[in-house]
Amino acid sequence: MNDEAGRCLIVDPGDAEPVLNAIAANNWQPEAIFLTHHHHDHVGGVKELVEKFPQIVVYGPQETQDKGTTQVVKDGETAFVLGHEFSVIATPGHTLGHICYFSKPYLFCGDTLFSGGCGRLFEGTASQMYQSLNKLSALPDDTLVCCAHEYTLSNMKFALSILPHDLSINDYYRKVKELRAKNQITLPVILKNE
């Protein structure tokens, strides 16, 4: 995410190199990093990015404090970045401390919600994940779901294995398959469609 002044927000940088390449190519100045949880594929690039941009603020849940977080945030708190007020939403399930960041219309949801699915349960329970997904479903219908991984095609294949005759799933699967065949991303998606 970036603004007109050339400042950018980095979310869950698992690897610094592609982030640094995008920053250089667009002449952006990083203002902050949002971390949603402690898994390496979401925090692996933090150290190098902070070394390169020591002024950057790294927001994250308590479970990321040893991963480079400089500003621990929790449910109900806010983070002000790029002129946006982001609400922090606790979404345990994938991990116990997982959080999301919401500023209409953007939802940075890490590994809680994907297009056509949700994150695996590594630390939390199915009940916790269900409650977390219910929290997210209460957000506005036009919310842009900015999840951390492009799993849409595999999620839709799984959905078809459960509901092979569902017309909406079949239609979405065809669209996703076509996009992925062209190496195009399917994200972000609109919450109403999830």
In a domain, 178, yes or no: no
**What pLDDT does residue 172 have?**
96
pLDDT of residue 51: 98
- Predicted pLDDT of residue 176: 97
At 159, is the pLDDT very low, low, confident or very high (cuts 50, 70, 90)? very high
The beta strands (E) that lie in 35-96 are given as: 57-60, 71-72, 78-81, 84-90
- Give the catalytic positions in this structure: 37, 39, 41-42, 94, 111, 149
Res. 126 pLDDT band, cuts 50 70 90: very high
Q: What pLDDT does 135 receive? A: 98
Overall average pLDDT of the 10-33 stretch: 98
Would 63 be classed as within a structural domain? Answer: yes
% of the chain beyond a pLDDT of 70: 100
d(CA 116, CA 189): 10
Instruction: Report the percentage of the chain scoring pLDDT > 90.
Output: 98
pLDDT averaged over the chain? 97
**What would the mean pLDDT of 39-58 be, rounded to a whole number?**
98
- Model pTM score: 0.95
Rounded CA-CA distance 126/92 in Å is 10
Q: Looking at residues 106-130, what average pLDDT do you find?
A: 97
| Amino acid 173: pLDDT | 97
**pLDDT average, residue stretch 123-141:** 98
Is residue 20 in a domain? yes
pLDDT of the residue at 174: 98
Q: Measured in whole angstroms, how far is the alpha carbon of residue 45 from the centre of its chain?
A: 15
Does the residue 66 lie in any domain? yes
pLDDT at 112: 98
* The pLDDT of residue 188: 97
Range of the domain at 106: 7-149+188-193
* 70 assigned to some structural domain: yes
Residues 50-76 have a mean pLDDT of 98
Count of domains for the chain:
1
Tell me whether residue 163 is in a domain.
no
As a whole number, mean pLDDT of residues 122-145 equals 98
What whole-number distance in Å separates Cα of residue 115 and Cα of residue 148? 10
- Residue 95 near residue 79 (C-beta atoms within 8 A): no
Asked whether residue 173 is domain-assigned, the answer is no
pLDDT at site 66: 97
What's the pLDDT score for residue 108?
99
Residue 126 located in a structural domain: yes
CATH number of the domain encompassing residue 123: 3.60.15.10
